[in-house]
Amino acid sequence: MNKTKNKMPLNQKIINSKFNITKNFLYFLIVPAVIILVGIILLCTLGFNLGTDFTGASTFKVYVNDEDKLGEEIVSYNLDNKDDYNVIREKIEVVLEDNGLSIREYRTTSISITNYLIENGQAVEVVYQNTVDDIELIEAQNNDIRSSLITAFGYADVQEAISSVDFIPSYGSYNWAIGVVAGIVFASIIAICYMAFRYDMSAFIVGLIQVALDIFLTISLILVCRITINLSMGIILFSTLILTIVNLFHFYSTIKNNIKSGKLANLKNNDIANTTVKEITMSRILVYVILLTIAILFSALAVEGVREVSLGTLLSIVTTFYTSEFILPGLWATCYKKKTKKINKNS
């Protein structure tokens, strides 16, 4: 008997343990654990890839001479032409890269040049992130960049064709982040307390663990993927919270209904968890495919600001699906304690 017990596979020992751990639960924890560990290392070394909301930025406009009003010697571009659009961007990128900078936002706009009777002429607007905090250094660098752009576009005699480079100060505060985190924590506690009241105390424990895991895992993935952090970070965290709460309610309500109907009678915790997950997987896959499609479309087509939010939301979608499918059942099976009626021996 002892030899047979010792030869039992580790996975089978885990399933048969008093903790009611579901099959492969510990293996499924490896991926989140590694990602969170890497995220912690990146947070302590590189930190977040902060966007212009926190670091400040500079912006300028460049007229493209689409109407040939600046003279034949100056090259004319048309932003409706994709090649011209890209050529202008490449010229600007070269100037910024020479100064150790890169384009954060690049979009079409308009500009007026009074001396040449140009009103709302085609132009591009560029935003780039500052790499220093000293205002005087930023202004000096911006002046150098404008001079280089004037040379690159041949605007020596028409310097108004390139606007002044304006400095956009950072918000200079992380109070928004504290407010967002506080709001998410408060909303999580309210939702989880409701679940504990409606279902049982295991729902409270599992809910807290699940919310914390999804939030930390999403943040770690943002660190790993180096997604730019701006004020929109709150949308990503809020999306993660909503998806987590919906998954928790879906899982618990399905279990409650099945137990009430007697469908799961005499089953162990891990069998109840696995049966429930199989039952709700198809409907959840359909919803997640729709969400993934929307997030991917926005990531591919939207402007920079929206694209960063879409990429972060994409990570939260992947995270919450993985944990709800492979982690949540194991947490529930481990924490749930069946209620048994006390028998009066004297009766």
Judgement on whether residues 209 and 303 belong to the same structural domain of the protein:
yes
* Domain CATH code at residue 110: 3.30.70.260
In this predicted structure, the answer to whether residue 325 has a pLDDT above a threshold of 80 is: yes
The predicted model scores a pTM of 0.76
| Pairwise pLDDT comparison (166 vs 308), residue with the higher score | 166
**What does the DSSP 8-state code read for residue 226?**
T
Q: What is the DSSP letter of 281?
A: H
1 located within any domain:
no
Q: Which residues pair with 59 in a beta bridge?
A: 127, 166
User: 228 and 160 share a domain?
Assistant: no
Q: Which of 168, 194, 227 is the last residue of a domain?
A: 168
pLDDT exceeds cutoff 70 at 171: no
Q: What number is the average pLDDT over the span 27-53?
A: 90
> Same structural domain for residues 180 and 127?
no
Q: How many CA atoms lie within 13 A of 266 on its CB side?
A: 0
CA dist 66 and 116 (Å) reads 13
Alpha carbon distance 240, 319 (integer Å)? 8
Is residue 302 domain-resident? yes
Share of the chain above pLDDT 90, in %: 35
Asked whether the beta carbons of 51 and 308 are under 8 A apart, the reply is: yes
Please state the rounded mean pLDDT for residues 55-71. 88
One domain, residues 66 and 101? yes
Domain boundary (168, 203, 230) is at 168
Task: Please compute Rg for the chain using Cα positions.
Answer: 29
Neighbours of 17 (CB within 10 A): 11
Domain presence at residue 344: no
DSSP state of 116: G
- For residue range 121-160, list pLDDT tens digits in order: 899 999 998 888 788 899 999 999 999 999 999 999 888 9
pLDDT for the residue numbered 288: 95
With respect to residue 10, please indicate whether it lies within any of the assigned structural domains: no
Indicate whether 177 and 61 sit together in one domain: no
Provide the pLDDT confidence category of residue 176 given band limits of 50, 70 and 90. Answer: low
pLDDT value of position 306: 80
Contact indicator for 159, 63 with CB cutoff of 8 Å = no
pLDDT band at residue 104 using 50, 70 and 90 as cut-offs: confident
Same domain? 143 vs 188: no
Q: How many domains does the chain have?
A: 2
Q: Are β-strands 57-63 and 166-168 bridged in parallel, bridged antiparallel, or unpaired? A: antiparallel
Query: Looking at the domain assignment, is residue 104 inside a domain?
Result: yes
Task: Report the 10 Å Cβ neighbour count for 31.
Answer: 14
Does residue 71 surpass a pLDDT of 70? yes
Considering Cα of 124, then 129, then 130, then 133, what sign does the dihedral take? positive
Note whether 120 and 152 are same-domain residues.
yes
Calpha distance 310→294 (Å, rounded): 9
Residue 12 located in a structural domain:
no
**Rounded Cα gap, residues 20 and 290, in angstroms:** 34
Which of 7-11, 35-39, 258-262, 342-346 is predicted least confidently?
342-346
Backbone angles phi, psi at 42, to 5 degrees: -65, -35
Identify the domain containing residue 43 by its residue range: 17-49+173-335
Please report how the helices 201-225 and 328-335 are oriented relative to each other, as an axis angle in degrees rounded to 10.
150
Cβ atoms within 10 Å of 262's Cβ, excluding its own: 8
Q: Could you tell me if 229 and 218 are in contact, meaning their C-beta atoms sit under 8 angstroms apart? A: no
Q: Are residues 85 and 32 in the same domain?
A: no
Cα angle 281, 184, 246; round to 5: 20
Specify the CATH number for the domain of residue 311: 1.20.1640.10
Say whether both 83 and 210 belong to one domain: no
Indicate whether 44 and 62 sit together in one domain. Answer: no
Strands 118-129 and 103-113: antiparallel
Same domain? 146 vs 42: no
The answer on pLDDT for 98 being more than 90 is yes
Q: What is the DSSP string of 80-137?
A: TSHHHHHHHHHHHHHHHHHTT--EEEEEEEEEEEGGGTEEEEEEEEEEEE-S---HHH
d(CA 341, CA 339): 7
- Please indicate, yes or no, if residue 259 is contained in any of the structural domains: yes
- Do 291 and 180 fall into the same domain? yes
Q: What's the one-letter identity of residue 165?
A: V
DSSP for residue 115:
G
Model pLDDT, residue 25: 78
Quick check: is 343 in a domain? no
> What confidence score (pLDDT) does residue 257 get?
86
For 302, the token pair is 């939207």
User: Which of 109, 135, 168 finishes a domain?
Assistant: 168
Sequence-ordered list of residues with C-beta below 8 angstroms from that of 286, at least 6 positions apart, any chain: none
